[in-house]
C-alpha cells in the first residue's frame, strides 16, 4: 500500500471538457466502404507489404510484416479484397504520405484462424518466441506514441514495478476513461501478463481523481490480484507523462537521457494492457481502438473504430456543427491539425476534436520573447524552454542539444502560459526534425565513405595478392633453371618487379630452347632454304674444284676479282639464310613452349 504520493515540478490545470463524451458507453463504429491501413505506425515502426493486389484476406490476417528492429506487423481489420497498395497521407503533423494497403470489405467479417499463446508454457528459455508473438500481433503503445511493446518487454533489465497509466490527463480525451469503466477485468488481465513477462513484483495503476467511475471499476477488478494497487493521483497536466507518473507513484526521478527500465520501472497504457490480453488469451491481433469524437459536435462519444477507417467516415457519427472550421487529432495540448480528412485512424489515434473559433480561437500574432521565465516554471521536464526557443530559432542545434532538447516531451505547457503567444513546441519539433535529418545525412555519408574505403582496400589487396602470385611463379621458375645448371640465367633480385622476373625467366627459357633445337647441319633446314644454299654452292663450284686449286697462283685479273667478290657475297647470303632460318625455328619453338606453359 502506497502511503505517500510524490509530485513533479511544473504542470498546468486547463479545463478538462471530459463530461460530455464520457456519459455514454463505447459504441462500435460502422464498417467503412474502404479501409486504408498504413504500414507505418509512427516515424520509426514500419512494416513491409506481404499481400498482393486482388488478394482476398480474412480478418486478423497479416498484411504487413515487421521491418527492422522497431517494426511491428499489420493485419487486415476485416475480411475483404486488397484493391490497392499505394501511398496515402499519414496522420502526422508533417502531412507526408506513407505506404498503405487499401482493403474493400466484403461485409462478412470472417476471422482467420486465431492462435492464442500460453506464455507460461514457453518458459524462460523461449522468451524470444513471446517477443515475436507480441511483434507479430502488432501490439504498440496505445497512449499516442505507438512505441512497439515487444521492445519494452524485451529489455534485459528486470522491472520490479509495472506502472499502468490510466491518468489520461489531457483535456477532452475520455477513451481510456470509458475503457477502464467497461473493460477493467481485461485491462488487469493484460497487466498481469505484462508483469509476468517483466518479472515485476507489483502493479501500480495511476488514475487521476477526476475519473471516479473508472477508479471504482479498476479497484474492483484489482481485488483479485494480490500485487495490484489502484492509486488516485491529483489532476494536473501532464501527470500522464511516463516520467511524471513514475515520479508521482514511486518517487523515482528519471534523470535526463535515462529511461524507467534503468531504474526497475516499466510503464504501459491501459489500452495496451487490454490489447495484450486479447492477443495472448484470445489470439486476436490489434485491429481496432477506442477513439473519442468530441468538440464542436452534436453527439460527443467514444467509438470502437477499426484501424484504417478514414476520419471523414467518423464525422457523421458525431455530427459536427456548421461553424466547425478544423479538426484536431489528439488533444488540444499535444495534438495537431488533421492534414486531410481522408487520413485513416491508426493505432495511436485516441481522439478527434472538431474545432471552432468559439472553442479554440486562433492565437494572437507572435510577439518577441520577454524572458519572463513562465515557461520554465511550468516545464515538467525541468528544462529552460526560452533557451531552447532561441537556439531552435537561430538553428543553433548543437546548443539546443546541450540544453537537453530531446528531453522535451512536447506537452505544450510552455506555449500554454507564454504571454507572447510563441508556439514554442513548434520550434522544438522543427529543431528535432532538422537534427534527425542531419543525422540521416551524416549516416549516409559515413556509409558511402566506408564503401569507398573498402573498395580501395579490396583493390589494394587484390593487387598485393596478384604480385605475390607473380613473385611465387618467378621464384619457382628461377629454382627450376638453377636446377638445370643454367649459368647464364640472371637471378632475380629480391626487390625486383615480379613481372620483370617472369620476363627474364621466359627469355632464359627461350635461349635454352634455342640452343637445344639449333640444327647441327643444313639437312635440318627447311627445303626452301636448302634449295637456295644449293644454288649458291653451284655458283661457287668453279672456284672450289680440284683443278682450279692446282693452278699456279697468279695476280687475279679484274674479271676474276669481280667473280671472287660475287662468290664472297654469295657466301655471306648463304650464312644469312642459315642464320635467319635458325632464328625462325627458335622463335617458333619458344612461342610453342610459352603457350604450353600458359595453358598449364
pLDDT in tens, 166-213: 999 999 999 999 999 999 999 999 999 999 998 899 999 999 999 999
DSSP calls for 490-507: PPPPTTS-HHHHHHHHHH
Task: Decide if 180 contacts 223 (C-beta within 8 A).
Answer: no
- Is pLDDT above 70 for 492? no
Q: What is the DSSP letter of 600?
A: -
Quote the pTM value.
0.74
Whole-angstrom CA distances from 226 to 62, 192, 238, 309 are: 37, 11, 29, 40
Task: Decide if 179 contacts 289 (C-beta within 8 A).
Answer: no
- Is pLDDT above 80 for 284? yes
**Residue appearing with cell numbers 627450376:** 480
Query: Any idea which of 45-54, 73-82, 190-199, 528-537 has the lowest mean pLDDT?
Result: 528-537
- Is pLDDT above 80 for 122? no
Beta bridge partners of 344: 310
pLDDT at residue 571 in the model:
63
CA distance 391 to 157: 36
pLDDT at residue 256 in the model:
79
Mean pLDDT of 339-360: 93
Which residues, in sequence order, are CB contacts of 131 under 8 Å at separation 6+? 150, 153, 154
Mean pLDDT of 519-531: 57
pLDDT at residue 485 in the model:
67
Mean pLDDT of 32-44: 87
Helices H, strands E: what count in the chain?
Answer: 19, 17
Confidence of residue 543 (pLDDT cuts 50, 70, 90): very low
What's the distance, Cα to Cα, between the start and end of the chain in Å? 87
Encode 227-241 in three state secondary structure. Answer: CEEEEEECCCECCCC
pLDDT at residue 544 in the model:
44
pLDDT at residue 552 in the model:
46
Query: Any idea which of 147-161, 416-430, 575-589 has the lowest mean pLDDT?
Result: 575-589
CB burial readout 313-336, b (16+ within 10 A) else e: bbbebbebeeebeebbbbbbbbbb
Beta bridge partners of 328: 337, 353
> Left, alpha or beta for 88 (phi > 0: left; psi -120 to 50: alpha)?
beta
pLDDT at residue 188 in the model:
96
Phi then psi for residue 88, to 5 deg, are -145, 155
Task: Decide if 504 contacts 490 (C-beta within 8 A).
Answer: yes
Provide the percentage of residues in the chain whose pLDDT is more than 70: 82
Average pLDDT for the chain: 85
- Is pLDDT above 50 for 94? yes
Amino acid at each position: 500500500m502506497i502511503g505517500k504520493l510524490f509530485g513533479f515540478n511544473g504542470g498546468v490545470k486547463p479545463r478538462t471538457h471530459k463530461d460530455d463524451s464520457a456519459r455514454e458507453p463505447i459504441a462500435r463504429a460502422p464498417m467503412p466502404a474502404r479501409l486504408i491501413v498504413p504500414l507505418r505506425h509512427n516515424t520509426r515502426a514500419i512494416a513491409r507489404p506481404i499481400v498482393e493486389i486482388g488478394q482476398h484476406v480474412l480478418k486478423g490476417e497479416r498484411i504487413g510484416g515487421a521491418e527492422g528492429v522497431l517494426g511491428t506487423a499489420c493485419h487486415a481489420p476485416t475480411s475483404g479484397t486488397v484493391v490497392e497498395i499505394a501511398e496515402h497521407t499519414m496522420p502526422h503533423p508533417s502531412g507526408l504520405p506513407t505506404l498503405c494497403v487499401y482493403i474493400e470489405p466484403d461485409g462478412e467479417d470472417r476471422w482467420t484462424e486465431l492462435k492464442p499463446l500460453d506464455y507460461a508454457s514457453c518458459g524462460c528459455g523461449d522468451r524470444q518466441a513471446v517477443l515475436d508473438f507480441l511483434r507479430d500481433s502488432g501490439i504498440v503503445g496505445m497512449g499516442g506514441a505507438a512505441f512497439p511493446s515487444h521492445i519494452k518487454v524485451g529489455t534485459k533489465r528486470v522491472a520490479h514495478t509495472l506502472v499502468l497509466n490510466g491518468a489520461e490527463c489531457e483535456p477532452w480525451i475520455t477513451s481510456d476513461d470509458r475503457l477502464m469503466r467497461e473493460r477493467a477485468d481485461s485491462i488487469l488481465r493484460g497487466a498481469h501478463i505484462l508483469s509476468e513477462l517483466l518479472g515485476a513484483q507489483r502493479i501500480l495503476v495511476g488514475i487521476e481523481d477526476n475519473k471516479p467511475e473508472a477508479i471504482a471499476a479498476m479497484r474492483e477488478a484489482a481485488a483479485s490480484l494480490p500485487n495490484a494497487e489502484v492509486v488516485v493521483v491529483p489532476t494536473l497536466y501532464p501527470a500522464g507523462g511516463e516520467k511524471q507518473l513514475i515520479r508521482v507513484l514511486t518517487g523515482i526521478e528519471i534523470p535526463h537521457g535515462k529511461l524507467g527500465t534503468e531504474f526497475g520501472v516499466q510503464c504501459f497504457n491501459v489500452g495496451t494492457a487490454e490489447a495484450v490480453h486479447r492477443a495472448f488469451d484470445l489470439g486476436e491481433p490489434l485491429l481496432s481502438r477506442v477513439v473519442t469524437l468530441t468538440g464542436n459536435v452534436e453527439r460527443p462519444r467514444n467509438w470502437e473504430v477499426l484501424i484504417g477507417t478514414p476520419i471523414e467516415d467518423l464525422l457523421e457519427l458525431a455530427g459536427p456543427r456548421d461553424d466547425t472550421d478544423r479538426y484536431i487529432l489528439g488533444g488540444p495540448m499535444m495534438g495537431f491539425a488533421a492534414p486531410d480528412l481522408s487520413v485513416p485512424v491508426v493505432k495511436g489515434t485516441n481522439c478527434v476534436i472538431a474545432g471552432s473559433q468559439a472553442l479554440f480561437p486562433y492565437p494572437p500574432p507572435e510577439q518577441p520573447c520577454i524572458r519572463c521565465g513562465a515557461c520554465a516554471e511550468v516545464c515538467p521536464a525541468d528544462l529552460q524552454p526560452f533557451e531552447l526557443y532561441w537556439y531552435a530559432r537561430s538553428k543553433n542545434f548543437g546548443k539546443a542539444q546541450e540544453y537537453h532538447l530531446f528531453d522535451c516531451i512536447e506537452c505544450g505547457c510552455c506555449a500554454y502560459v507564454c504571454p507572447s503567444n510563441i508556439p514554442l513546441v513548434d520550434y522544438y519539433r522543427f529543431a528535432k526534425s532538422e537534427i534527425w535529418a542531419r543525422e540521416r545525412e551524416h549516416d549516409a555519408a559515413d556509409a558511402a565513405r566506408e564503401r569507398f574505403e573498402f573498395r580501395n582496400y579490396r583493390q589494394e589487396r587484390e593487387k598485393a595478392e596478384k604480385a605475390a602470385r607473380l613473385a611465387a611463379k618467378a621464384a619457382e621458375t628461377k629454382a627450376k633453371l638453377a636446377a638445370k645448371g643454367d649459368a647464364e640465367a640472371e637471378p632475380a633480385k629480391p626487390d625486383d618487379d615480379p613481372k620483370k622476373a617472369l620476363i627474364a625467366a621466359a627469355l632464359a627459357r627461350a635461349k635454352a630452347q634455342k640452343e637445344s633445337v639449333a640444327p647441327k647441319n643444313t639437312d635440318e633446314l627447311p627445303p626452301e632454304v636448302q634449295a637456295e644454299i644449293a644454288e649458291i654452292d653451284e655458283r661457287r663450284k668453279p672456284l672450289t674444284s680440284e683443278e682450279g686449286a692446282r693452278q699456279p697462283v697468279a695476280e687475279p685479273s679484274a674479271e676474276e676479282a669481280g667473280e671472287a667478290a660475287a662468290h664472297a657475297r654469295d657466301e655471306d647470303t648463304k650464312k644469312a639464310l642459315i642464320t635467319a632460318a635458325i632464328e625462325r625455328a627458335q622463335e617458333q619453338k619458344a612461342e610453342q613452349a610459352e603457350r604450353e606453359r600458359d595453358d598449364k
